[in-house]
């Protein structure tokens, strides 16, 4: 055997399969907000201390791990050096929605370091124009990351529509007016130097994953995340994993039929939840005019605070139909917990009682009160999930950073 | 090593893990309606011909395989003895529904050998009385099987409700009025001598599996099976496997809310599909009186044939709301095919156009015309699936028959 071969027999410069698996295994044992010593990692993985030391050396060199000072291995343990996921490595998270663009930097420790949201009317805009505007925000965030010493490894872009992530194609995003849009070139251009590139996802799926990794999801293993934007999206988490269905598009609760005599929807159907509980539906039912979304939302909240009947009725109606759709989802998918994000979270105080009444009427006992949660991530949920997906990909394939 | 040990090192009288796996592997390679030679099995599994011969000897002795005469191994092969799943081994399939009991014998080749359905009003009957009545049918079927030389290995019982198959408990069956009914003793008494016992399942899930194994399912990998009885049940097949959700109760399309102002349902909810498309709902809307179900169904079919407006409108309404629920299921679970059984299959000619119109209105493009299928198994679907589940369990654990 050549003396330059590594312990697992792989030639230098090419990480062997066993070593690849062990590198990912070690990273999986380190909680994003916690730390571990080499001795703890050896005990938890069953690897020898020598193997762990060799693997950790690679991970330190790759920049994914960093040393955090001396820590103790439990009560009786000797002091060891604490290893943490390096907060100076991160990913860009971005979201295109109907009336805003949002970008942030998520570090490996799970902290959202920079975040910027700008209003922009993207409905009917050409994908090229929207991506150019998004590119300005991404570059600003990348500059901020650079100044803070954060190395960007990749990114994720969430959009309000059905996507084919393998081909970087937006299959359909009715509220943007997009159909069969190939974003490969635009995604490649956003972060050309990042080793893991930029991937595409559905905004509600990304937000559902953000809840799982960084939000309420930690207490539910199975839930439906409902995203309230201009559209209403959904992401289904079963057994702590995203359930996307046979073709990748499961969870579309916004287009569940909640009233068969209801109005026509952008999806081509009729009586969809989105037509009763989407932002435009609520603003319109509340009689709130055609300002920007942020202004309309603050008008709505003021009207609700003041007890204006029309505003209260609009949110009551949204909660009622949200309950109809969640009841049907609970029956079909055997889901007993729901996490509500976007404007549903902003309207929690008013929409929650209406939702509870509706669930008691349509699916008594199926979704207990303690299983209705409101997202604390608000408008950052989708971009956090998109960046988080990228970072989880990095942690699963650390060998791509090791020569 | 003791000379009495078998080729895989296991002691005689105790089948080792490797041999267990290989026994099941061989059985998995034999199509229920086809045959295979020892040489083909060796080629397909990568096992040596000597191992295959030894394993086949055990399977012949267990009675699961039998020899079917000389066959050729492909064009150039030498003749070999064809091995088939033994049609003289089988399982009882049974179904309790609201107004009938049904029992049949399914053999290992997938043929339903005996089948008997009797009308019986089970709503509100005590589980003990219903199981006693079912026991009479089971014994009659078991006698018929014995006379035909079929050895019964076990059985399956399908009920119209949510079940816990591990504990043999009917969690809730609203249309029977049953809740938390433990059937362990009754199931054990049905076929006391059968080595694999009798297991419990949901009727729509069993029917969905019967379609997968013996019906339309062979051309769809992903579909929703909708069972039309007094209740409306559903079974969800994804990737050719039953998807039962986090707690085992997914697919309950009968309680999807199709009209929020609709009537109260036995489930405690309101406006469920069952209240518009279940048998009683259709008979009642068609103005067909309180005879037996079989009589009412023949009255309905005559009225439809004669073009009676009220009957036509009742089935049109059922198809319309069935489309509402299937549209919502397609959105939530990303399903693009549906198989309709029970009375929906009996009403195919009239309900199909209404269903297509409804799907075009509520989920245009999501469920193509070629992806709507009607079950050919009719009232035997659930019992066939229940017996089939038992037989698949036998084929996965053949070593339980080998000493």
- In this structure, how many other beta carbons lie within 10 angstroms of the beta carbon of residue A334? 22
Residues of B in contact with A259 (CB under 8 A): 259-260
Closest partner residue to B257 (CB to CB) among A222, A252, A328 is A328
Strand spans (E) along B183-256: 198-202, 223-228, 232-238, 241-242
Residues of B in contact with A324 (CB under 8 A): 257, 260
Listed in order, the ranges of chain B carrying CATH 3.30.420.40 are 89-207+382-401, 217-376
Quick one: pLDDT band at residue B77, thresholds 50, 70, 90?
Answer: low
Cα–Cα distance measured from residue A130 to residue A137, given in angstroms and rounded to the nearest whole number: 11
Looking at chain A, which residues constitute the CATH 1.10.10.10 domain(s)?
17-85
Contact between chains at A246 and B252 (C-beta distance less than 8 A): no
CATH architecture type of domain A17-85 = Orthogonal Bundle (1.10)
Residues 6+ apart with CB under 8 A from A13: A403
> Residue A256's closest chain B neighbor by CA?
B328
Class (C level, CATH) for A216-376: alpha beta
Q: State whether residue A364 sits within 8 Å of chain B by CB.
A: yes
Identity of the residue in A320, A332, A362 whose CB atom sits nearest the CB atom of B332: A332
Q: Tell which residue, A204, A212, A202, A106, has the closest CA to residue A157.
A: A202
pLDDT value of residue A71 = 66
Contact B199, B184 (CB under 8 A): no
pLDDT of res. B78: 64
Exposure of B75 by Cβ count < 10 A (0-12 exposed, 13-18 middle, 19+ buried)?
Answer: exposed
List of residues 6+ apart from A375 with CB closer than 8 A: A207, A211, A215, A216, A225, A339, A340, A341, A342, A345, A381
A354 contact B CB<8A: no
Share of chain B above pLDDT 90, in %: 83
Q: Who has greater pLDDT, B293 or A223?
A: A223
| Residue A345, both tokens | 């979270």
A299-308, B185-194, B212-221, range with the lowest pLDDT:
B212-221
Fold of the domain built from segment(s) A89-206+382-401: Nucleotidyltransferase; domain 5 (3.30.420)
Contact B377, B384 (CB under 8 A): yes
The segment(s) of chain A belonging to CATH 3.30.420.40 are 89-206+382-401, 216-376
Give the model's pLDDT for residue A48: 93
Confidence of residue B294 (pLDDT cuts 50, 70, 90): confident
Selecting from A333, A362, A363 the residue whose C-beta is nearest the C-beta of B333 gives A333
| Cβ distance of B258 and A257 shorter than 8 Å | yes
CB B370, CB B195: distance < 8 Å: no
Using a CB-CB cut-off of 8 Å, the residues of chain A touching B246 are 221-222, 238-239, 334-336
Nearest residue of A to residue B220, measured between CA atoms: A246
Least CB-CB distance to B246: which of A222, A255, A268? A222
Residue in chain A nearest B328 by alpha carbon: A256
Reduced to 3 states (helix: H, G, I; strand: E, B; else coil), residue A84 is strand
Given a cut of 80, whether residue B69 has pLDDT beyond it is no
Residue B8: pLDDT above 80? no
Quote the pLDDT of residue A16.
84
Q: Measure A359 CA to nearest chain B CA, in Å.
A: 9
Distance CA A356, CA A358 (A): 5
B331/A256 touch (CB, cutoff 8 Å), yes or no: yes
Chain B residues near residue A331 by CB distance under 8 angstroms: 252-253, 255-256
**HSE toward the beta carbon, residue B77, CA cutoff 13 A:** 16
Is there a contact between A247 and B336 if contact means CB atoms under 8 Å apart? yes
Complex confidence, ipTM: 0.89
| DSSP labels, B129-175 | HHHHHHHHHHHHHHHHHHHTTPEEEEEEEEESSEEETTTTEEEEETT
Instruction: Say yes or no for a CB contact (<8 Å) between A334 and B365.
Output: no
Mark yes or no for CB contact B331/A244 under 8 Å: no
A16–chain B Cβ distance below 8 A for any pair = no
Residue of A221, A245, A361 lying closest to B333 (CB–CB): A245
Q: What is the pLDDT of residue B228?
A: 95
Reference B78, options B51, B48, B38; nearest CA is: B38
Per-residue pLDDT of chain A (403 residues; tens, 9 = 90+): 334 444 444 444 567 889 999 999 999 999 888 899 999 999 999 999 999 999 999 999 999 999 987 765 555 556 788 999 999 999 999 999 999 999 999 999 999 999 999 999 999 999 999 999 999 999 999 999 999 999 999 999 999 999 999 999 999 999 999 999 999 999 999 999 999 999 999 999 999 999 999 887 668 889 999 999 999 999 999 999 999 999 889 999 999 999 999 999 999 999 999 999 999 999 999 999 877 778 899 999 999 999 999 999 999 999 999 999 999 999 999 999 999 999 999 999 999 999 999 999 999 999 998 899 999 998 899 999 999 999 999 999 999 998 7
- Under an 8 A CB cutoff, do A335 and B238 touch? no
Q: CA of B111 to nearest chain A CA: how many angstroms apart?
A: 30
Instruction: Quick: pLDDT tens for B321-372.
Output: 999 999 999 999 999 999 999 999 999 999 999 999 999 999 999 999 889 9
Q: Which of chain B's residues have a Cβ under 8 Å away from the Cβ of A328? A: 256-257, 325, 328, 332
Q: Could you give the CA distance from residue B32 to residue B47 in angstroms, rounded to a whole number? A: 21
**Mean pLDDT, to the nearest integer, of B24-49?**
92
B 295-334 near A (Cβ less than 8 A): 320-321, 324-325, 327-329, 331-334
Other C-beta atoms lying within 10 Å of the C-beta of residue A99:
18
- For B89-207+382-401, CATH gives 3.30.420.40
Among partner residues B222, B252, B362, which is closest to A257 by beta-carbon distance? B362
Question: Taking the CB of residue A5, how many other CB atoms lie within 10 A of it?
Answer: 12
Q: pLDDT tens-digit profile of B245-287?
A: 998 899 999 999 999 999 999 999 999 999 999 999 999 999 9
Is the Cβ–Cβ distance between B98 and B122 less than 8 Å? yes
Nearest chain B Cα distance for residue A328, angstroms = 4
Structure confidence at residue A74 (pLDDT): 54
> Any idea which residue has 């291995």 for tokens?
A73
Q: How far is CA B356 from CA B62, B117, B352, in A?
A: 49, 32, 6
Average pLDDT across chain B, whole number: 92
Q: What is the pLDDT of residues B138-169, one digit of tens each?
A: 999 999 999 999 999 999 999 999 999 999 99
Contact A12, A6 (CB under 8 A): yes
Contact between A329 and A253 (Cβ < 8 Å): yes
Q: Residue A5 in contact with residue A60, Cβ under 8 Å? A: no
Contact B245 A327 (CB under 8 A): no
- Model confidence at B59: pLDDT above 70: yes
Q: Which of B204, B292, B277 is nearest to B242 (CA)?
A: B204
Is B217-376 assigned to CATH 3.40.1360.10?
no
Element (H, E) at B68: strand B65-72
Cα-Cα end-to-end distance for chain A: 21
Determine whether the interchain pair A256/B221 forms a contact, defined as Cβ–Cβ distance below 8 Å: no
Q: Does A68 touch chain B (CB under 8 A)?
A: no
Q: Which secondary-structure segment (H or E) carries B100? A: strand B100-107
């Amino acid at each position: 055997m050549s003396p330059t071969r590594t312990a697992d027999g792989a030639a230098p410069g090419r990480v062997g399969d066993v070593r690849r698996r062990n590198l990912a295994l070690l990273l999986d044992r380190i909680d994003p907000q916690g730390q571990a010593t080499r001795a703890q990692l050896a005990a938890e993985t069953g690897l020898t201390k020598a193997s762990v030391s060799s693997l950790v050396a690679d991970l330190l060199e790759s920049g994914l791990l960093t040393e955090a000072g001396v820590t103790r291995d439990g009560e009786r343990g000797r002091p060891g050096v604490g290893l943490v996921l390096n907060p100076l490595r991160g990913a860009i998270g971005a979201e295109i929605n109907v009336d805003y663009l949002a970008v942030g930097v998520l570090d490996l420790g799970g902290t959202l370091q920079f975040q910027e949201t700008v209003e922009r009317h993207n409905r009917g805009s050409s994908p090229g124009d929207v991506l150019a505007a998004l590119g300005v925000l991404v570059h600003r965030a990348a500059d901020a990351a650079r100044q803070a010493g954060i190395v960007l490894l990749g990114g994720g872009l969430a959009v309000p529509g059905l996507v084919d992530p393998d081909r970087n194609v937006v299959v359909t995003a009715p509220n943007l007016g997009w159909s069969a849009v190939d974003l490969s070139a635009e995604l490649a251009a956003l972060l050309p130097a990042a080793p893991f590139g930029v991937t595409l996802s559905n905004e509600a799926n990304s937000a559902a994953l953000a809840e799982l990794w960084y939000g309420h999801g930690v207490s539910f293993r199975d839930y439906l995340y409902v995203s309230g934007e201009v559209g209403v999206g959904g992401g289904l988490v079963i057994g702590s994993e995203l359930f996307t269905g046979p073709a990748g598009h499961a969870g579309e609760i916004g287009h569940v039929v909640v009233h068969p005599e209801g109005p026509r929807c952008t999806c081509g159907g009729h009586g969809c939840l989105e037509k009763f509980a989407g932002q435009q539906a609520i603003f319109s039912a509340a009689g709130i005019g055609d300002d920007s979304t942020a202004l309309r939302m603050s008008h709505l909240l003021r009207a609700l605070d003041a007890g204006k009947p029309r505003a209260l009725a609009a949110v009551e109606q949204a909660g009622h139909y949200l309950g109809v759709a969640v009841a049907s989802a609970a029956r079909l998918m055997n889901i007993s917990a729901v996490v509500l994000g976007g404007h549903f979270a902003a309207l929690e105080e008013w929409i929650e009682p209406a939702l509870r009444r509706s669930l008691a009427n349509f699916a008594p006992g199926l979704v207990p009160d303690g299983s209705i949660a409101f997202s604390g991530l608000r408008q950052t949920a989708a971009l956090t999930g998109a960046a988080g997906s990228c970072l989880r990909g990095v942690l699963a394939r650390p060998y791509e950073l090791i020569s």
